[in-house]
Structure 1
Amino acid sequence: MNTIKAILTGHTRGLGAALADLMLSRGIEVLGVSRTRSSTSASSLLREVELDLTNSAALGEWLWTETLTRFIDGGHTVLLINNAGMLQPVGPIEAQDVNAIGRSVSLNVAAPLMLSAAVAAASHAASDRRIVHISSGAGRNAYPGWSIYCATKAALDHHARAVTLDRNRALKICSVAPGVIDTDMQAEIRGTGLEHFPLREKFDELKRSGQLSTPADAARKVLDYALSDTFGDTPAVDVRDLS
């Protein structure tokens, strides 16, 4: 029997919450890592860790504990989904708060890379290890006002490309853009002033015209691909391009 154990960051909101619900419904054990605990109904398959992933030092200390290793133990397939992320700071470079830049880079880049290395090292007994970076089209196309978000998502894409070159046969990795999803982040985008994000009207129109994916639909596409035989064949994909 293929026992799947998944580590999921940012599991309490948006795409992360939808991924958690979907995996639990499929009988997958989930270790959720987020600043807060889930408000959904409790499941014996869900374990939660309250951790601020913008704090790299705190994450490093937690990774030294045996929590991750104990959770992974016994899993045939170990799946890490680096979902947690933040949009801020938004605006031209001269208007960006330097501390906000530090928090964004810590959450969007340092945390996924640290967790990836830790899972790869801790899951040596698992015959099937998979790492999913939740990326964005912003990592592949530059947007005005989004220099930090674009740069951090591009970092995940390039990390996946480089790790693929390591040719670890027991490890597959892919940076997955999940499409444009109707989440709190989209609401945040639509609430941004045009002086900070000139392309906001494009996202306003996506909402008005019903072109945003639901979190549940996006979660299904991401998870189905993550567990497919073709996962990792390409280090960076967009779910909208998958058949």
Structure 2
Amino acid sequence: MKKAIVTGHTRGLGAAIAAELQGRGIAVLGMARGRSPLAGIEQAEVDLADPAALQAWLAGDALRAYLLDADNAFLVNNAGVVTPVGPLAAQDPADVLRAVTLNVAAPLALAAAFVRAAPLAARRILHVSSGAARSAYPGWAVYGATKAALDHHARAVLLDGDLRVRACSLAPGVIDTDMQAAIRATPGSDFPLRQRFVDLKEGGALDSPEDCARKLADYLLAPGFGSEPVDDLRN
């Protein structure tokens, strides 16, 4: 049986990924602070930016019980935030801690727990990364650094040599989501590249969450998944 875990499944790309995988006959467990109206999926209400809450959930039996009958298991680490945006002097340290917890600590902890919870299954881990992981952008020091951490994690997983565990940190391109709206609303003084993203929106160059989710699912389920630990969906 094929089973997937999707974080941040209540809106945007995460919601589209959950629906796409479910439509392909894959059972889905969504993890987020809130609940999704998508019928037929299991849901765990966990604030992934709260280390104590995530640790308490992982200490329970829910993950192992969910994956017990899976012969193919998938973890899609989609949840993340772009904030704080701006130079160091403008960054609230509390926002930095929240971003690093949600963008890095949670997906890495989930990856380890996921692999341990399904020792007999073929396991695939997909980190939703960003082009900002590979090119430094002014104002995105925290976002870029957290996504780069996911890239490096996937590289190391490949070097571990476990053929039943594959991982890829995949940049999905620019998608028409709430995160993009937040980027366009950022003052140019905090994010000098803001106009580039405004132009992408106005030029109709943003991918829809549904189209991106379809391509991402194709990538996740392809035979060669994990042979490239860091990749871009546009390649």
TM-score range, shorter chain: over 0.9
Unaligned runs of 5+ in 1: none
2: CA distance, partners of 1:23 / 1:59: 24
C-alpha deviation, 1:27, in angstroms: 1.5
Establish whether residue 197 from structure 1 lines up as the match of residue 194 from structure 2: no
Counterpart for residue 19 of structure 2: 21
C-alpha deviation, 1:61, in angstroms: 1.2
Which of 119, 133, 153 does residue 124 from structure 1 map onto?
A: 119
Establish whether residue 90 from structure 1 lines up as the match of residue 85 from structure 2: yes
Mapping 1:56-95, distance limit 5 Å:
56-95=51-90
C-alpha deviation, 1:89, in angstroms: 0.3
C-alpha deviation, 1:169, in angstroms: 1.1
Q: Deviations over 1:87-145 (max 9, x none)?
A: 1000001110000000000000000000000011111021x110000000011111100
2: CA distance, partners of 1:199 / 1:118: 37
Counterpart for residue 202 of structure 2: 208
**Which amino acid letter does the alignment assign opposite residue 170 of structure 2?**
V
1: CA distance, partners of 2:181 / 2:28: 27
Q: Provide TM-score, normalisation by structure 1.
A: 0.96
3-state SS of the aligned residue for 1:124?
Answer: coil
3-state SS of the aligned residue for 1:240?
Answer: coil
Q: Deviations over 1:28-70 (max 9, x none)?
A: 1101000000033x22xx1001110001121111101110001
Give the percent of matched residue pairs that are identical in Structure 1 and Structure 2. 54
Unaligned runs of 5+ in 2: none
2: CA distance, partners of 1:92 / 1:149: 12
Establish whether residue 48 from structure 1 lines up as the match of residue 43 from structure 2: yes
Counterpart for residue 5 of structure 1: 3
3-state SS of the aligned residue for 2:168?
Answer: strand
Greater shift, 17-26 or 78-87, is seen at 17-26
Establish whether residue 103 from structure 1 lines up as the match of residue 109 from structure 2: no
2: CA distance, partners of 1:39 / 1:142: 37
RMSD value over aligned CA atoms? 0.7
1: CA distance, partners of 2:18 / 2:164: 24
**Which amino acid letter does the alignment assign opposite residue 152 of structure 2?**
H
**Which amino acid letter does the alignment assign opposite residue 137 of structure 2?**
Y
Counterpart for residue 217 of structure 1: 211
**Which amino acid letter does the alignment assign opposite residue 77 of structure 2?**
N
Counterpart for residue 33 of structure 1: 31
Counterpart for residue 142 of structure 2: 148
1: CA distance, partners of 2:163 / 2:23: 29
1: CA distance, partners of 2:165 / 2:82: 29
Q: Provide TM-score, normalisation by structure 2.
A: 0.99
Greater shift, 166-175 or 20-29, is seen at 20-29
2: CA distance, partners of 1:118 / 1:182: 31
2: CA distance, partners of 1:167 / 1:125: 16
Structure 1 stretches of 4+ moved >2 Å = none
Which of 89, 112, 115 does residue 110 from structure 2 map onto?
A: 115
Aligned residues between the structures: 235
